Structure 1
Amino acid sequence: MTLLALGINHRTAAIEVRERVAFGPSQLTTALTELRALPRVREAAVLSTCNRTELYCITEADGEQDVLDWLSRFHALPTEELTRCAYHYVDGDAARHLMRVAVGLDSMVLGEPQILGQLKDAYQVAREAQGLGGELERLFQHTFAVAKQVRTETGIGENPVSVAYAAVSLASRIFDDLSRASALLIGAGETIELVARHLHEAGVRKLSVANRTRERASHLAGSLGGVAISLDEIPEALEGADIVISSTAAPLPILGKGMVERALKRRRHRPVFMVDIAVPRDIEPEVGDLSDIFLYTVDDLQEVIEENRRHRQVAADQAEALIEHGVNHWHHERRIRSAGEVIRDVRSHGERLRDEAQQQALERLARGEDAEKVVRRLAHQLTNRLLHQPTLALRSAAAEERQELLEAASELLLSDAEQGH
């Protein structure tokens, strides 16, 4: 069995592709069921965030193409287009990639903490959809342990930064005094919650939170002295918003060009700073063509993010070392489990031959044959049966000059004999 990690992320695919390959929450169970049903796939988990979509699978040999073809079919995307921006890792490299993702080393913002929570959510969904077996279950648990160690022993989590932090940092460069700015946040998930807290810490006091579920918006807005509104109230709220940051799981844009254009007229064309963190996008790209609108997507935050990355590089190097140790440990445990399967098969084979020889010996004794002759025949017969297949394999190895196999056989089969001399 092969461990496979296949996906796309912010480094390999533009946002236009990422939003087409993203899995919405309502799609995940269906996706896992279909993926798990592929002939060569034994286990599966799906991680889908604004910056990446990744499939983690236990497959038979050559299962990668099946998984890639399925991903293409599911999202109605030409396989050739997906192939150009997809990456894949197998076995140790796949385990290493998952661990790097978990601690934020593969994130747009180096060391950002959100991804670990998203990965734990993906793990839980896969469990509930019965996508996990022993291999992926152990891998995820081991990954979570490594991530905890990295967070505890390195500075990777100090001075928390994220896409949310980068968005607010960019806003602070554009506005001289954030305390005089009004902000409209669309969504009420973890990302928007982080944005709200960063804005509040930066001095923003006029805060509105729009969400499909008003109760969740009220909880977030209330904790920061803001107000909650429904999605239907967004057009009116836009009139007073200097900052608009959106991150929802909506399949279609929430802010269209016409809506924003009308709000600008009522604002007398006072500029608006907008950041669309969502994938698929919440704000139509054409909104960026409007005068007095400064629209940024997650891809546009790269400059801010690179600055943060430099501050975390030392901790990242330490994290890489811990991950390498984690991968080696995972390899070690996997080899031991693999050897256990072989040992069980060898013992089962030997016990079957023993039981057959023993039964034949008991039948001879029952017929009154000489006990000593029966015992000698039993020993001779059992030795021949046990050594028959190894003898054939050794002769074949000798004929093919496979010296390494002959040496391994000698170490396995003769070590006890040598110790006895």
Structure 2
Amino acid sequence: MTARRSAPVAALGLTWREAPTAVREVASAPLSAEDVAGLRAQGLHGLVEVHTCARSLWLLAADDPSWVGALLQARLSARLIQAGCTASPELRVGDLAVRYLLRVSIGLDSFVEGEADVGGQVLDGFQAAAASAGVSADLQSAWRAVVDLGAEARREGLVRPGRGMGHLAVDTLLRENVPLDSAVGVVGHGRIAKQVCASLGRAGFPAPKVYNRTPSEAVHPLSAIPAAKHEGWVICSAASEPWFVPPAGARVVVDLGRPGQVIGRAIDLDALLGGFGLRMRDEARERADALVDAAVEHWRTRQRIHASHRVLARVQALRDEFVHDRVPELMAEVLDGMDAPTRKRMIAAAQQAVRRYSHEVLGALKETVG
């Protein structure tokens, strides 16, 4: 009961460790309106979804997060079984859910530890939830914790903008001996594609040629791809079906798309995520863990304060209801037979006495809870 009051949230996570990209793609399909309505009928207040190239995360707030989380876990597990996978998203409740969310948001649970991309993707998930169905007070508190922790981790250099899947893709090009003096083709113009371009520059490659569905002065149209001459390609698009056919001369194609975008031979996400990953330095990891611990404790404190304020608001509402409705009802028999002006004065006096006494009680409660 204590954990539920302090953190009425639950988180489910499914990563590259438990399921390949194609299976995670099945799990990350949008929930149906019927599914969401069913969860709301069981006490769901809000749901945030985060889907990246390496993980899916669902964060929910509910009256009983253990119960609603288990219902969502069962629904997602059924999808995975249909896809031929026996894995199940891991359910964490209360403070453990908040800790997991915060670790994910600063890249501590990433294949490339300390990456910056995932923090932006977590914030995108909160913003999408706020735009569609709104975000409950408990999820807003979690959102604030993510923002505050991310800012502190960046100030201390624990989260580095150039570190992420784009960094990993460029490392792969170098490992496959793509010449440093040759321009790489990059397909896509979103956050990951921009990270890839920045990583290529830091590695010493010339400015890449970028291709996208919406061309501009610096971005080439997709129709120019068949005639392009690049040994190395990085695909960052997000079409629902594979479409990219490597042109002649393409020797190394890294596919960061989810689902896979390449028709033919490519180094896809499953291949990239099959290695050992990139770890933070031990001292940086220890410092990041300490920041998460402090952020969780700060979250607990805020939740206790919010819970106390909710209790006080409820007590005050009950007091007002008693004064306005119950006092006249309780005094009706006592005042029977008195004239109307006298009854009115007596009821007003009783109401005022209750207000004075309850005001002292509420004042003492407020001092106690701060």
Which TM bucket (shorter chain)? 0.7 to 0.9
Cα deviation, residue 365, structure 1: 9.7
Residue 147 of structure 1 corresponds to: 150
Where 2:234 maps in the other structure, the secondary structure is: strand
Residue 254 of structure 1 corresponds to: 243
Where 1:132 maps in the other structure, the secondary structure is: coil
Moved more, 90-99 or 158-167: 158-167
What is the aligned length? Answer: 338
Once the two structures are superposed, residues 142-191 of structure 1 have per-residue CA deviations (whole angstroms, 9 ceiling, x without a partner) of 22112212222x33135832111111122223327411x34221111111
Q: Does structure 1 residue 327 correspond to structure 2 residue 296?
A: yes
Is the 8 Å Cα contact of residues 186 and 211 (structure 1) preserved in structure 2? yes
- The verdict on how the C-alpha distance between 1:332 and 1:202 changes in structure 2, with shifts beyond 3 A counting, is closer
Equivalent-residue separation in structure 1 for 2:275 and 2:17 (angstroms): 16
Residue 419 of structure 1 corresponds to: none
Residue 35 of structure 1 corresponds to: 36
Residue 15 of structure 2 corresponds to: 9
Cα deviation, residue 111, structure 1: 0.8
Is the 8 Å Cα contact of residues 114 and 280 (structure 2) preserved in structure 1? no
Is the 8 Å Cα contact of residues 208 and 229 (structure 1) preserved in structure 2? yes
Q: Residue type matched to 2:18 in 1? A: T
Cα deviation, residue 36, structure 1: 5.8
Residue 188 of structure 1 corresponds to: 189
Equivalent-residue separation in structure 2 for 1:84 and 1:53 (angstroms): 13
Once the two structures are superposed, residues 75-118 of structure 1 have per-residue CA deviations (whole angstroms, 9 ceiling, x without a partner) of x5436956624111111111111111111111111010111111
Equivalent-residue separation in structure 1 for 2:124 and 2:34 (angstroms): 17
Q: Residue type matched to 2:174 in 1? A: S
Cα deviation, residue 6, structure 1: 1.4
Residue 212 of structure 2 corresponds to: 211
CA RMSD of aligned residues (A): 3.6
Q: Does structure 1 residue 231 correspond to structure 2 residue 235?
A: no
Is the 8 Å Cα contact of residues 104 and 118 (structure 2) preserved in structure 1? yes
Q: Residue type matched to 1:309 in 2? A: R
Residue 309 of structure 1 corresponds to: 279
Is the 8 Å Cα contact of residues 18 and 279 (structure 1) preserved in structure 2? no
% identity of equivalent residues: 23
Equivalent-residue separation in structure 2 for 1:106 and 1:99 (angstroms): 9
Cα deviation, residue 199, structure 1: 1.8
Equivalent-residue separation in structure 2 for 1:249 and 1:105 (angstroms): 25
Is the 8 Å Cα contact of residues 100 and 323 (structure 1) preserved in structure 2? yes
Is the 8 Å Cα contact of residues 185 and 209 (structure 1) preserved in structure 2? yes
Once the two structures are superposed, residues 314-367 of structure 1 have per-residue CA deviations (whole angstroms, 9 ceiling, x without a partner) of 212111111111112212221232233333444544565566457755954983
Q: Does structure 1 residue 281 correspond to structure 2 residue 260?
A: yes
Equivalent-residue separation in structure 1 for 2:331 and 2:268 (angstroms): 80
Q: Residue type matched to 1:66 in 2? A: L
- The verdict on how the C-alpha distance between 1:6 and 1:83 changes in structure 2, with shifts beyond 3 A counting, is farther
Q: Does structure 1 residue 18 correspond to structure 2 residue 19?
A: no
Equivalent-residue separation in structure 2 for 1:117 and 1:95 (angstroms): 17
Equivalent-residue separation in structure 1 for 2:312 and 2:222 (angstroms): 62
Is the 8 Å Cα contact of residues 19 and 279 (structure 1) preserved in structure 2? yes
- The verdict on how the C-alpha distance between 1:132 and 1:81 changes in structure 2, with shifts beyond 3 A counting, is farther
Residue 175 of structure 1 corresponds to: 177
Is the 8 Å Cα contact of residues 170 and 199 (structure 2) preserved in structure 1? yes
Equivalent-residue separation in structure 1 for 2:284 and 2:85 (angstroms): 34
- The verdict on how the C-alpha distance between 1:99 and 1:171 changes in structure 2, with shifts beyond 3 A counting, is same
Is the 8 Å Cα contact of residues 115 and 162 (structure 2) preserved in structure 1? yes
Q: Residue type matched to 2:279 in 1? A: R
Residue 342 of structure 2 corresponds to: none
Equivalent-residue separation in structure 1 for 2:194 and 2:323 (angstroms): 67
- The verdict on how the C-alpha distance between 1:185 and 1:159 changes in structure 2, with shifts beyond 3 A counting, is closer
Q: Residue type matched to 1:68 in 2? A: Q
Residue 119 of structure 1 corresponds to: 122
Where 2:293 maps in the other structure, the secondary structure is: helix
Is the 8 Å Cα contact of residues 201 and 207 (structure 2) preserved in structure 1? no
Where 1:144 maps in the other structure, the secondary structure is: helix
Equivalent-residue separation in structure 2 for 1:182 and 1:350 (angstroms): 73
Once the two structures are superposed, residues 26-46 of structure 1 have per-residue CA deviations (whole angstroms, 9 ceiling, x without a partner) of x6xx76895366322221111
Give unmatched runs, 5+ long, in structure 2: 340-345, 359-363
Show the 5 A alignment for 1:298-377.
298-302=269-273, 306=277, 308-311=278-281, 313-349=282-318, 356-357=326-327, 364=335, 367=338
- The verdict on how the C-alpha distance between 1:197 and 1:143 changes in structure 2, with shifts beyond 3 A counting, is closer
Where 1:84 maps in the other structure, the secondary structure is: coil
Is the 8 Å Cα contact of residues 186 and 197 (structure 2) preserved in structure 1? yes
Equivalent-residue separation in structure 1 for 2:72 and 2:274 (angstroms): 34
Equivalent-residue separation in structure 1 for 2:158 and 2:55 (angstroms): 21
Give unmatched runs, 5+ long, in structure 1: 223-227, 289-294, 369-373, 387-411, 417-421
Cα deviation, residue 129, structure 1: 0.3
Is the 8 Å Cα contact of residues 213 and 230 (structure 1) preserved in structure 2? yes
Equivalent-residue separation in structure 1 for 2:28 and 2:319 (angstroms): 52
Cα deviation, residue 310, structure 1: 4.2
Equivalent-residue separation in structure 2 for 1:15 and 1:353 (angstroms): 58
Equivalent-residue separation in structure 2 for 1:304 and 1:145 (angstroms): 32
Where 1:164 maps in the other structure, the secondary structure is: helix
Q: Which has the higher helix share?
A: 1
Equivalent-residue separation in structure 2 for 1:303 and 1:273 (angstroms): 18
